[in-house]
Chain A
Amino acid sequence: MRKFDLSRVASSICLLSFAASAHAHSSVKGVGDLYAGLLHVLTGLEHVLPFVALSLLAGQRGMKLQAEAVLLVFPMALMLGAAAALWLPPLHGLMFFNMASAILLGGLVASAWPLPSAVFYGLVAVFGVSHGFANGEAITGSIKAYLFILGIGLAGLALLAYGTLTVDFLLKRKTGWITIAVRVAGSWIAAIGVLVLATAGKSMLSS
C-alpha cells in the first residue's frame, strides 16, 4: 500500500475549507472581495462608532437643508482614501486619529452647535479619507482592490444613509426628549472614544 501522505491530506483539507468559505459568501463567482470590503468596515467598531456619530450630526442638520450631499461626499472620500492606501505606505497612528474622529463628531452632536457647512463638509472629507485609508490598508495579496474599495464605499453609504434618515425622521417629530436623546447619544459616543484612547494610552505606558 502507498505511504500515507500527511502534507497532501492537510493541504487538500485546507483547500476544501477555502472552497467552503467562498461558497458561503457569494452566489456570483468572484465578487467575494466586495463583501470582504463591506464587512471590514461593518465589523470594525472603530469605524462604525464614528460613522454613527457622523450620521447623528448629519441628521441633526436636517436632510433637506444641508446634509443631503453628505451621502455622496462621504462614500467618495472613503473610496478615495482606500485607493490612496494602495500606493502610500501604512500610517501607524491612523487608528488613534480615527478614534479621535468619534470624539470630535460625538462632541459636536452633544453640543448641538450649528456648524458652518464648509466646516461640516471639511470634516466629512477628512474623516472619510482617513477611515477609507485605514480600511484600504487591509487590501493584500490576491484581494481584488476595486471590489474591496467598492465594498468600503457601500458600507459607508449604508450606515450613513440609514443613520441620517432615521435621525432626520425622528427629529421631525419635534418631540423635546428625542432631541435630547440624540445629543446624549453623541455624548456617549464621544465618551466611548475618550475611554478607548485612555485604554490605549494606558497599555502603551505599561508596555
Chain B
Amino acid sequence: MIASPGRRYSSTRAARWAAFAFLLILPGLALAHIGQGDLSGGFLAGLEHPVFGLDHVVAMVAVGLWGAQLRQPAIWILPVTFPLVMSFGGILGGLGVPIPGIEIGIAVSAIVLGAMIALAARPPLWGAGVIVGVFAIFHGYAHGAELPESANAISYAMGFVIATGSLHVLGILIGVINKWQAGEKILRAGGILIALCGIYFLVSRFIGD
C-alpha cells in the first residue's frame, strides 16, 4: 500500500479534529454536574472529617446520650433536626459570614451538654431544642468553613452527614443503658467525662497554638 502525501495529511488532520472535538466536549461534561471528580475519595474524606475531630465526636455522642436521657419525643426530634440546623450553619461557614468565637462555642457545647447529662437535666422540649440547635450551628459553621473544593462535593457531603448522624445513633444506642438503675449512674458519670473533655478543649484553645 502506498500512502500518498495528500491522504496522509488528511488522516492526521482528521485525528487532530477528533482530538479537538473531544477536548471541547470535556469541559461541558465537567460543568454538567455539581459532584464531579473523585467520588469515593470525597466520600471517605467527608466520612472521616467528623470522626477525626475529637471535639466534634464528643459533642455529637453527647447529643445522642442526652436525647436518650430525655426519652420521647426528644430522642427522635434531636437527630431529625440536628443535621438540618447543622447544614444551615454550614452555609454560614461556607459563605464566610463572620461569627466570632466559633471554636470557643464548640468547646462550650461539650461542657454544657456534658453538664446536662451529668445533672440529668430535663428542660422543656423547646429549651433542649434551642440549646442543641445553637451548638449545631457552631459545629456546622466550623465544618462549612473547612469544606474542601477539590473533593467531590456531593459524596463529601454524604460522608459527612452519614458520619455525624451515625455518631448521634451511637449516642442513642449507648443511652439505652439509661433503662437500668446502674446504667443511669454510668450515663451521668459519662456526662461528667464529656464536660471535662469540653474544659480541656476550651483550655487548650487558649493555651495551645
The reply to whether A194 and B35 contact each other, CB–CB distance below 8 Å, is no
Contacts of B88 in A (CB 8 A): 194
B35 closest partner in A (C-beta): A45
**A residues 48-86 with Cβ under 8 Å of B?**
49
Most buried by A among B11, B39, B83: B83
A-binding segment of B117-125, B156-164, B191-199: B156-164
The A171-201 residues at the B interface (CB cut-off 8 A) are 180, 183-184, 187-188, 190-201
The docked-state distance in angstroms from the alpha carbon of A137 to that of B162 is 31
For residue A99, CB closer than 8 A to chain B, the reply is yes
Q: Which residues of A contact B25 (CB under 8 A)?
A: 140
Contact residues of A: prevailing secondary structure: helix
In Å, the complex CA distance between A137 and B33 comes to 11
The number of residue pairs between A and B whose CB atoms lie closer than 8 Å in the complex comes to 121
Given contact pairs A45-B154, A196-B154, A11 touches B35 in the complex (Cβ within 8 A):
no
Q: List 8 A-B contacts (CB under 8 A).
A: A2-B1, A11-B15, A46-B33, A184-B79, A193-B157, A198-B95, A200-B153, A202-B149
CB of A207, distance to nearest CB on chain B (Å)? 9
Q: Which 6 A-B pairs have the closest CB atoms?
A: A194-B87, A191-B83, A198-B94, A195-B157, A191-B87, A202-B94
Complex CA distance for A197 and B155, rounded to whole angstroms:
13
Is A29 an interface position by the 8 A CB rule?
no
- A interface, size bucket: 35 or more
Q: Is the CB of B8 within 8 A of A199?
A: no
Interface size class of B (residues with CB under 8 A): 35 or more
Cross-chain contact A199 with B76 (CB below 8 angstroms): no
Which residues from A are CB-within-8-Å of B32?
95, 134, 137-138
Q: Which residues on B sit within 8 Å (CB–CB) of A137? A: 32
Chain A residues with CB under 8 A of B133: none
Is there a chain A Cβ closer than 8 Å to B99's Cβ?
no
Q: Is the CB of A205 within 8 A of B96?
A: yes
Residues of chain B within 8 A (CB-CB) of A201 are: 91, 94-95
